[in-house]
Amino acid sequence: MWNEIFSLTFLTSLLAATIRLATPILYAALGQIFTQKAGILNLGVEGTMIVSAMAAFTVSYFSGSLWLGFISAIVVGVLWSSIMAWLSNTMNAVQVIAGIGLNILGAGVASYVYRIIFGVRTLPPQIDPFPVVELPLLSKIPVIGPVLFCNNVPTYIAFLLIPVSWFLMERTTFGLRVKMVGEHPRASDAKGIHVTLIRNIAVLIGGACAGAAGAYMSTAYMNLFTDNLVQGQGFMAVAVVIFSKFRPGWALVGSLVFGFSNALQMRLQAIGAGIPNQLLLMLPYIVTIFALISTSRKAEMPSAYTKPYVRMER
Amino acid sequence: MMKRRLRSSISTTWQTAVIVVAALLLGALFIAFAGESPLECYGVMLEGALGSMSRISEIMIKMVPLMIMALGVSIAFRAKLWNIGAEGQMIVGAITSAVVGLYIPLPPWLHMIIAPIFGMIGGALWAMIAGWLRVRFNANEVITTMMLNYVALYLLAYMVYGPMQEPGGYNYPQSSSMAESIQLTPLGAGLRVNTSVFVAIGVLILIILFWRSRFGFTVDLLGHGTKITNYAGLNANRTIIWTMMLSGALSGLVGWIEVYGVHFRLLEGIGAGFGDLAVVITLLGKMSPIGILFASFFISALLVGGATMQRMTAIPYSIVDIIQGLVIVLLITQPMIQQKLQARKARGIYVE
């Protein structure tokens, strides 16, 4: 067994699976960095992802275009998260509850619409997922090549989004405003920043990214839609954001930790290792709790985290 | 005083009824979208939920655990501790109470006392982790309880595939079944509803009394902020931990009910979705014990009726999730809408 684990093929396939499993979490986490930095804890990512996954699959199935499916999923993600934006910024609802409500609603709507459109079948309808695109030359490097440069296009896009979101957050006025409304909404308001608008945009960015994450699940990682396709990945993304202390680069590290522990248990199961895979599956969640402890202590969370901004109140 | 309280509770009941009706009407749109008649489908649902004695028994089977769990969640929620880990706490309670029944040889009557206590301790300790992390490290309890849900889920999977798996049981993810002498007894021949109904009634009464007790007041006070609690000369940190433990203990008790009264063994997927349902019920019941009693009946009837509707019509079971989601969304918009309406009314008076 150990020979098998330390072989090059095992390592390569393990790391390749890590990337595939980390990508949807990375997508969702990058968007949530903006949402959470603006002071909004959107626990409804899970719901956004499942609705978008359904939309991506359905559109791809009927139009035959994966990219049309991918884009529709992003649009659906934005529309769906606009409910969250309205609830948290206009209705000043308790964000935790709004998120839970939208998760239940999302799971219901996705499963309902899918069943109405496709009916009950013995074999689920399938599509051809995004193909692997081998980058010339780079993909020929041993181990690194097949792991990093033999992926589908949505994966490459996710990795490109890391520097993009870093730039947006750290080097633009918009990023500064997002941080400001999360840190001190009243001061931002006094400065003439439209707090509600910035917060709304931050939630919608999160929705767009969760939409892409959902699309990745049903059209790139898998080639079909099932009710339990997302299974906690939205929550993992929320956890990764906190783990990363809102830094895009660290969000990649967090996503890879989740992806790796998931990939490891799958691979170990595949070769029939006698290690209980359930204990491995616990790992990312325990890591998150520890990461949360180290973050919360230094008070690195935005000061107005989960607090609605009311102009009239003091 | 009495009169005012009565009037305010009547108006709350009205508002909640309006929200439920609104959610059902919006749900009707989804049914119409599927090309079915909403009236007919809701008729089938009602028939399926309340049509016969065995249907009522099915409602009770769901209502007992959900009500107890929601009562537990409401304790944490009223203290503004967003404990969304009821499911994990219930799972751990199920494991700990199952350990008693499977491995500790005791006379049956003693089992009936020790097993629920073990369940409650399991749930309480699991919730205590989140409470302690909150007090010690200021860790957001939403995230920690959520993460602990997953840890509990995999702990259960580990147990039923590993050390607690039924010996010689075709490798199913489940434990051996509990001896018949320690199972909860059904209330009638052919019915699944069992003596746990009395447990539920007992818990309901205790929680009503709890809110009138000194500790109940402290919990409500904590809901107004930790500073206020400390100013009142009470220890906020200690209250947080005890509140979480009490909340978790009730979920743990539900773990015992599911193991000894419904499935008669520990198995994977026990209590799936219970956590979310408990949150819906808590909110719909406005966190009051009597409110939760009615809300748990409504949601259980929705679950049982929804299952019938799926069998008899072309409407998928997920309509139940849609209605629940709508209920939550409408509930949390209610305070703001009310505020706007009141502001409009006030302005009207000013103009006159």
CATH at B270: 1.10.3470
The residue that leads in pLDDT, B69 or B186, is: B69
Angle between helices B196-210 and B236-257 (to 10 degrees): 170
Complex-level ipTM beyond the 0.85 threshold:
yes
DSSP assignment of A91-145, as one string? S---HHHHHHHHHHHHHHHHHHHHHHHH---SS------PPEEEPTTGGGSTTHH
Residue of A nearest to B138 (CA): A296
A205 to chain B, minimum CA–CA distance in Å? 21
On chain A, the residues whose CB falls within 8 A of the CB of B319 are 108, 112
**B325 with A239: Cβ contact below 8 A:** no
- What residues of A are in contact with residue B269 (Cβ under 8 Å)? none
Instruction: State the total domains in chain B.
Output: 1
How many C-beta atoms surround the C-beta of residue B43 within 10 A? 14
Note whether A108 contacts B321, CB cutoff 8 Å: yes
Cα separation, A169 vs B34, whole angstroms: 43
| Contact criterion met (CB below 8 Å) for A280 and A268 | yes
The residue behind tokens 């783990």 is: A243
Residues of A in contact with B316 (CB under 8 A): 111-112, 115-116
Tell me: the pLDDT tens digits for A91-127?
Answer: 999 899 999 999 999 999 999 999 999 988 888 999 9
- Is A296 in Cβ contact with B138 (below 8 Å)? yes
Q: Do residues A308 and A92 lie in contact, with contact meaning Cβ atoms separated by under 8 Å?
A: yes
pLDDT in tens, B83-140: 999 999 999 999 999 999 999 988 989 999 999 999 999 999 999 999 999 999 888 8
Cβ–Cβ below 8 Å for B139 and A91: no
Mutant choice from B140, B268, B310 vs A, greatest count of A C-beta within 10 A: B140
Chain pair A-B, CB pairs under 8 angstroms: 144
Residues from chain A that touch B155, judged by Cβ atoms under 8 A, are 278, 282
Cβ neighbours of A109 in B, within 8 Å: 318, 322, 325
Mean pLDDT value of segment A263-278: 75
In a domain, A249, yes or no: yes
Would you say B133 and A286 are in contact if contact means Cβ atoms under 8 Å apart?
A: no
Q: Do the Cβ atoms of B24 and B323 come closer than 8 Å?
A: yes
Average pLDDT over residues B167-174: 81
* Chain A environment of B157 (Cβ under 8 Å): 278, 281
Compute CA distances B173 → A268, B92, B165, B197, whole Å.
19, 16, 7, 28
Cβ A282–B148 below 8 Å, yes or no? no
Q: Which band of pLDDT confidence, cut at 50, 70 and 90, is reported for residue B272?
A: confident
| B160: chain A residues, CB-CB within 8 Å | none
Within 10 angstroms of residue A270's Cβ, the number of other Cβ atoms is 12
Residue A272 CA to its chain's centroid (Å): 30
Quick one: average pLDDT of A231-247? Answer: 86
For residue A3, is it within any domain? no
Q: Which of B133, B144, B332 faces A97 most closely, judged by CB atoms? A: B332
Distance (Å) of CA B281 to CA B34, B63, B73: 27, 10, 9
> Which positions in chain A touch B30 (Cβ < 8 Å)?
112
Q: Any idea which of A62-66, A135-139, A271-275, B116-120 has the lowest mean pLDDT? A: A271-275
C-alpha closest to that of A23 among A290, A296, A219: A219
CA separation for the pair A297, B136 (Å, rounded): 9
For chain B, what percent of residues have pLDDT higher than 70?
98
Report CA Rg, chain B. 22
Q: Identify which of B204, B174, B186 has the alpha carbon closest to the alpha carbon of residue B94.
A: B174
Q: Is the pLDDT of residue B352 over 50?
A: no
**Chain A residue with the nearest C-alpha to that of B34:** A116
- Residue A58's CATH number: 1.10.3470
pLDDT at A275: 65
Give me Rg for the CA atoms of chain A. Answer: 20
Q: Which chain A residue lies closest to B142 (C-alpha atoms)?
A: A96
Nearest to A105 among B33, B142, B326 (CB): B326
Q: Please say if the pLDDT value at position A182 is more than 80.
A: yes
For residues B146 and B76, which has the higher predicted lDDT (pLDDT)? B76
Average pLDDT over chain A, rounded to an integer = 90
List the structure tokens of A158: 């996710």
Residue B350 falls inside a structural domain? no
Measure CB to CB from residue B321 to each of A104, A238, A288 and give the nearest one: A104
pLDDT tens per residue, range A187-205: 999 999 999 999 999 999 9
The number of residues making up chain B comes to 352
A57-66, A169-178, B248-257, B261-270: least confidently modelled range:
B261-270
Task: Flag whether pLDDT at A273 surpasses 70.
Answer: no
Residues 6+ apart with CB under 8 A from B126: B85, B88, B89, B92, B93, B148, B152, B248, B252
When divided into structural domains, chain A yields a total of 1
Rounded Cα distance between B37 and A32, Å, is 40
Residue A208 tokens, joined: 């767009």
Quick check: is B9 in a domain?
no
Percentage of residues in chain B having pLDDT higher than 90: 65
Give me the pLDDT at residue B256, please: 96
Contact in structure between B149 and B85 (CB atoms under 8 Å):
yes
Which three-class secondary structure state does DSSP give residue A210? helix
pLDDT of residue A294 exceeding 80, the answer is no
Q: Residue A292: its chain B contacts at CB < 8 A?
A: 133, 137, 139-140, 143-144, 147
Q: Which residue of A has its CA nearest to B33?
A: A116
The residue range of the domain holding A239 is: 11-297
Of A100, A115, A282, the CB nearest to B328: A100
Residue B280 lies inside a defined structural domain of this protein: yes
Average pLDDT, stretch B213-239? Answer: 89
In a domain, A304, yes or no: no
Chain-chain contact of B321 with A289 (C-beta, under 8 angstroms): no
pLDDT in tens, A122-170: 889 999 999 999 888 888 888 788 888 889 999 999 999 999 999 999 9
Residue B48 lies in a domain: no
For residue B8, tell me if it sits in a domain.
no
- Provide the mean pLDDT of chain B: 91
Q: What does the H/E/C string look like for chain B? A: CHHHHHHHHHHHHHHHHHHHHHHHHHHHHHHHHCCCCHHHHHHHHHHHHHCCHHHHHHHHHHHHHHHHHHHHHHHHHHCCCCCCCHHHHHHHHHHHHHHHHHHCCCCHHHHHHHHHHHHHHHHHHHHHHHHHHHHHHCCCHHHHHHHHHHHHHHHHHHHHHCCCCCCCCCCCCECCCCCHHHCCCECCCCCCCECHHHHHHHHHHHHHHHCCCHHHHHHHHHCCCHHHHHHCCCCHHHHHHHHHHHHHHHHHHHHHHHHHHHCCCCECCCCCCHHHHHHHHHHHCCCCHHHHHHHHHHHHHHHHHHHHHHHHCCCCCCHHHHHHHHHHHHHHHHHHHHHHHHHHHHHHHHHC
Collect all residues of chain B within an 8 Å Cβ-Cβ radius of residue A39: none
The whole-angstrom separation of Cα B350 and Cα B352 is 5
Check residue A314 and give its pLDDT.
54
A54-68, A127-141, B165-179, B311-325: which is most confident: A54-68
Burial letters A106-129, b for 16+ CB under 10 A, else e: bbbbbbbbbbbeeeeeeeeeebeb
Of A237, A290, A258, A272, the closest CA to residue A36 belongs to A237
Which candidate from B30, B139, B324 shows the least CB-CB separation from A112?
A: B30
Q: Would you say A307 and A39 are in contact if contact means Cβ atoms under 8 Å apart?
A: yes
Q: Which amino acid is at A6?
A: F
Domain containing B39: what range? 19-43+54-339
Nearest neighbour of B283 by CB, restricted to A41, A97, A278: A97
Contact assignment for A92 to B336 by CB distance below 8 Å: yes
Cβ-defined contact of B137 to A293 (cutoff 8 Å): yes
Best of A84, A105, A297, A306 to disrupt the B interface by mutation (most B CBs within 10 Å)? Answer: A105
